[in-house]
Amino acid sequence: MTADFTGWHVLAEFGGVDTALCDDLERLESALRESLIAAGVTICDVVHKKFDPQGVTVLALLSESHASIHTYPESGDIFVDVFTCGSIGAGATKAVELLRDKLSPKDVRMQVIQRGHGSQKINEPVGNGLTRIWDLHEVIVDTNTPFQHMVIARTDQGISLFSDDDRQSTEFSQLTYHEAMMVPAFVAAEKLDKVLIIGSGEGVASQMSVAAGATHVDHVDIDQLEVELCAEHLPYGYTSDELVLAVKHEGPIKVHYADGWDFLANAAEAGTRYDVIVIDLPDERVEEAQHNRLYEAEFLARCRELLAPGGVLSAQAGCATMWRNETLKRSWERFHDQFGTVVLYTSDEHEWSFLFGLNEKIDDPIAGMTDRLATLPYRPETVDARALVRGAIEPHALRV
């Protein structure tokens, strides 16, 4: 396969076609020939078959690949398949559209598939019956770690990270995401010295914590291979050299390749306390999933017990959009069961919502957060005082 190889494969179903036309070999072959020629493709040969008692197949061999139609006169249906590659690739779509005009179907269903280099895609589920399709222009990493299927690829959003088909971060939006998760925690905490981050394999959250004034950051991630590949290939977060130092615990960031559940148990036994704890893992699933336990009440309670006085727990809490807000509702209820004060932040430029829990009861946490924002050593680019106020307003679904 050459570097510039690409092609368009069009699959179409024509319904409600005149029954007599569906069984007329000459008219069908003529319609296919004329459509292909008008679309600019080159016909090398055409073969056909008339079936008994009815039905027709016409197959055209093209310089660019092939085209075919197969008919069902008894129901007035025609299946169309056209694949063209090279510089005339998009001619497949034009040929099918021209054929449609000639056969006058009442119903048309058409699917266009780009094939070849530059055609790889990730279908990301975003809700019941909804899928977001990512075009991957260059796949940099495609591997199964011991815990997930991991892809790093160049997209129109820059170099992007995917885990089990879910987008984790992109070069274009990662700063907005990480600031939404971290900045409200920084300004809600009474002090910012010790930070625990569970997940967030890119390393941005750890680096942001140090920039905000933390002197000790424990970064816990169970997937060593993912963290190493992120450092090697992502243009944000750790570099490979920085990761080596963090793994050696040389500097404020200390990377631990461990299960978050076990790390919390060991920290509790040692009496360790944190000013900020961050849970940044693959999305909680509506259905059963192994990692869901790290979003549930028992895990939140373990995190809560490790908070220093005035400490804050930050967690990704799902999405506020009505077609995928089930996990946000779950998180909202859990946090209110666990914490004296709960603050929501939904970025006005990103789809995710985050929850921040404090053990202490605070009547107006947002006022103190906006005041502290002005003195924060880290200067956020995507969060200001007005964003904090707006982002803390709960969606209607959480208030009813």
Question: Could you give the residue numbers annotated as active site?
Answer: 65, 70, 85
The SS3 call for residue 95 is helix
How far is residue 278's CA from residue 296's CA, in Å, rounded to a whole number? Answer: 14
CB atoms within 10 A of CB 241: 9
Total number of residues shown for the chain = 400
What single letter denotes the amino acid at residue 90? A
The number of angstroms, rounded, from the C-alpha of 101 to the middle of its chain's C-alpha atoms is: 38
Residue in this structure with the two tokens 């978050």, named with its chain if needed: 260
Bridge-based pairing of strands 130-136 and 120-127 is antiparallel
Give every strand in the sheet of 138-144, ordered side by side. 138-144, 149-155, 158-163, 166-170
Token duo for residue 121: 């895609």
Judge whether 352 and 367 are in contact, CB under 8 Å.
Answer: no
CB atoms within 10 A of CB 75: 12
How far is residue 260's CA from residue 111's CA, in Å, rounded to a whole number? Answer: 44
Judge whether 278 and 214 are in contact, CB under 8 Å.
Answer: no
How far is residue 340's CA from residue 361's CA, in Å, rounded to a whole number? Answer: 5
Q: What is the DSSP string of 250-266?
A: -SSEEEE-S-HHHHHHH
The SS3 call for residue 331 is helix
In terms of Cβ atoms closer than 10 Å to its own Cβ (0-12, 13-18, 19+), residue 40 is middle
Q: What are phi and psi of 205, to 5 degrees?
A: -60, -40
* CB-based contacts of 243, cutoff 8 Å, min separation 6: 203, 227, 228, 231, 255
Q: What are phi and psi of 98, to 5 degrees?
A: -65, -40
Listed residue (6, 5, 10, 7) closest to 35, CA to CA: 10
